[in-house]
């Protein structure tokens, strides 16, 4: 049975809140290595989801119309460039690098980033909204397997991202309540966009749903590379980071091939 958009939204909200509030109310923030591992695996799952699910399904939906093929790749490029432009404008997503820097500042006084802290929260919230667009579009396509795969990728990626935001905000804010507010704002962005995107796209033609999915795939690819490239390029962490990403790719690939072999990926359109 296919979940309703509200059920998906609730699942994402719960995961984000748990991930974001854990470092604020516990000592789990003191294990940055575990966060790197989870982030790498999540990035691999995001990449595999984009390549195996979101992009093929988006192409399938768009190809049924008379849309110029150049626009297919253009939608992916637009999603990628949007995240790149936000990052270049200081409205970043790379909260994991901020967290790693903070974890290495032992013995030094705290250096607060001022307004950039709010920009990072804004950037993460905007990215969370694009996650909601991807899920909403997947649900609107009517494909249960596609919706499940996209939600799985977002859920697994959401936890370490929210955790890093909690650590960063706890470092930046003057009081714990402000950190909680940051996490709540971030956590609500994806569920709200799931409901909005589903209600808007479900009444549109299939090729427009496909374009929305391709746009989301571009944001997926950007986020996955930004999350992992710093560690992969680091000679001390490169091999481990690469291995974590490959584990994530293998996990989702195995799930999708198993689903295909059992007929779960049968299309309804």
The 10s digit of each residue's pLDDT in 26-66 is: 766 556 677 778 778 888 888 988 898 889 888 888 887 77
pLDDT at 115 over 50: no
Q: Identify the CA nearest to 164 among candidates 109, 218, 127, 217.
A: 127
Percent over 90 (pLDDT), the chain: 19
pLDDT category at 191 given cuts 50, 70, 90 is very high
pLDDT at 129 over 80: yes
Instruction: Write the CA distances from 127 to 70, 151, 269, integer angstroms.
Output: 25, 15, 29
Contact 190, 10 (CB under 8 A): no
Outline where the chain has alpha helix (H).
5-25, 32-49, 55-62, 70-88, 95-103, 115-140, 144-172, 176-201, 206-233, 238-261
Contact 193, 132 (CB under 8 A): yes
What pLDDT score does 92 carry?
Answer: 59
Of 87-91, 103-107, 162-166, 200-204, the poorest mean pLDDT is in: 103-107
Distance of CA 242 to the CA centre of its chain: 19
């Amino acid at each position: 049975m296919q979940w309703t958009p509200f059920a998906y939204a609730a699942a994402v909200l719960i995961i984000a809140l748990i991930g974001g509030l854990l470092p604020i109310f516990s000592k789990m923030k003191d294990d940055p290595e575990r966060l790197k591992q989870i982030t790498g695996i999540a990035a691999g799952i995001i990449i595999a989801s984009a390549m195996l699910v979101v992009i093929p399904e988006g192409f399938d939906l768009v190809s049924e119309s008379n849309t110029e093929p150049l626009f297919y790749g253009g939608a992916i490029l637009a999603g990628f460039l949007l995240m790149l432009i936000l990052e270049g404008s200081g409205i970043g997503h790379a909260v994991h690098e901020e967290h790693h820097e903070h974890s290495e500042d032992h013995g030094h006084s705290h250096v607060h980033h001022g307004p950039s802290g709010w920009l990072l929260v804004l950037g993460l919230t905007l990215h969370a909204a694009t996650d909601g667009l991807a899920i909403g579009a997947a649900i609107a396509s009517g494909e249960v397997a596609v919706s499940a795969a996209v939600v799985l990728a977002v859920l697994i990626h959401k936890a370490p991202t929210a955790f890093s935001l909690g650590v960063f905000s706890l470092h930046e804010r003057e009081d714990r309540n402000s950190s909680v507010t940051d996490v709540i704002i971030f956590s609500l962005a994806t569920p709200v966009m799931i409901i909005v995107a589903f209600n808007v796209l479900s009444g549109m033609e299939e090729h427009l749903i496909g374009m929305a999915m391709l746009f989301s795939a571009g944001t997926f690819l950007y986020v996955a590379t930004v999350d992992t490239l710093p560690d992969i390029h680091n000679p001390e962490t490169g091999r481990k980071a690469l291995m974590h990403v490959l584990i994530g790719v293998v996990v989702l690939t195995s799930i999708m091939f198993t689903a295909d072999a059992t007929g779960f990926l049968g299309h309804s359109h």
